[in-house]
Amino acid sequence: MNILLIDDHFCAREGVACLLKQLFPDLQVFEADNFDDGLLLARKTPLNLVLLDVQLPGTDGLKGLQELKTAFPGLCVVMFSGLDDRELVFEALRMGAMGFIVKTVSRQAFVEALRDVLSGKVYLPASAVGPQPALPPVKTVNADIRPPSDPASLGLTPREFEVLSWLVQGKCNKVIAKELGIGEQTVRNHLRPIFQKFGVARRAELLVKVFEQGIVFGKPGVGN
C-alpha cells in the first residue's frame, strides 16, 4: 500500500510518516513539501491514499485537491489540517475529498480515520457531525434551538430519517443496524431511497446535501 503525504511542515510530515510506518509495517510512505512535487510523485507512483495539507505555499490544499481529483478521479484524498472549520470541511467534501482529519486528533482517532477512508467510508472531524450537523439555527426571541426537521417534508419515512441521522454521525451500516435493531441488508434497503431522494451517489455527497439544506436531527432513534 502506498500513501503520499503533502505537507510543508517538516516536523508534522515526518511525525505522521513515522507513525504510519509503525502502525503499518508494509506501508510505503512518500513525502512532498509542496503540491507540485506531490503531483509529480502521484503521476509516477500508484497510490492508495493522499494526505493533503490544506495550507500549502503556492498551490493551496483545496486547489490541489481539485487538481488531484481531475487527474486521478478514483484516488482517495483526505485533507489534513490544523484548521477545524465546518464550512471548510464540507467544501472539501464537495470537491471530492473522502475525509478531513484535524492534526490535533488522538493517535487512535487518526488510525480509525485512515481505516475508514481506506475501506471506502467518509471520515469527518467531530465538529462536523453530531445530532445537529446543520447550518447554525436562526435565533428568535422565544427560541434558541430549532426543532428536528420533519421527515415527511424531506420526502423520507420516519425510519429513513433515523437511518440518515446515524449516517451523518459517520456510523457504518453494521453499527446503524445494531443501534436500530435491524439487519444490515435492511439498512442498505433504507439507504437506497435516501440516496435517490437526495440525488446523490456517495455518502460524502449526501453529507454535503444535509449540511446545505440545514437539516436538524434530534436524538438518534434506537431499536425496540
Give pTM, 2 decimals: 0.67
Please tell me the distance from the alpha carbon of residue 31 to that of residue 18, in angstroms, as a whole number: 11
Q: How far apart are CA 204 and CA 47, in angstroms?
A: 21
Handedness of CA 173, 176, 177, 182 (dihedral sign): negative
Write out pLDDT tens, residues 95-128.
Answer: 889 889 988 888 888 888 888 888 777 887 776 6
pLDDT in tens, 82-102: 887 778 888 888 888 988 998
Q: What is the DSSP letter of 143?
A: -
Joined grid coordinates for residue 47: 497510490
The 8-class DSSP code of residue 82 comes to S
| Predicted local confidence at residue 144, as pLDDT | 41
| Residue-wise pLDDT tens digits, 158-181 | 999 999 888 877 777 888 899 999
Q: How does residue 142 score in pLDDT terms, banded at 50, 70 and 90? A: very low
- Cell matching residue 68: 488531484
Domain boundary pick from 128, 145, 163: 128
- Is the Cβ–Cβ distance between 32 and 61 less than 8 Å? no
194 & 219 share domain: yes
CATH number of the domain to which 90 belongs: 3.40.50.2300
Domain boundary among 128, 148, 173: 128
Gap between the Cα atoms of 91 and 196, Å rounded = 22
Q: How many domains does the chain have?
A: 2
Same domain, 116 and 219: no
Domain that holds residue 38: 2-128
Same domain (yes/no): 90, 167: no
Element (DSSP H or E) covering residue 162: helix 158-167
Domain limit, last residue, from 65, 93, 128: 128
Considering the domain architecture, whether residues 170 and 200 belong to the same structural domain is answered as yes
CA distance 173 to 72: 28
- Cβ atoms 78, 51 nearer than 8 A: yes
pLDDT in tens, 179-203: 999 999 999 999 999 999 998 887 8
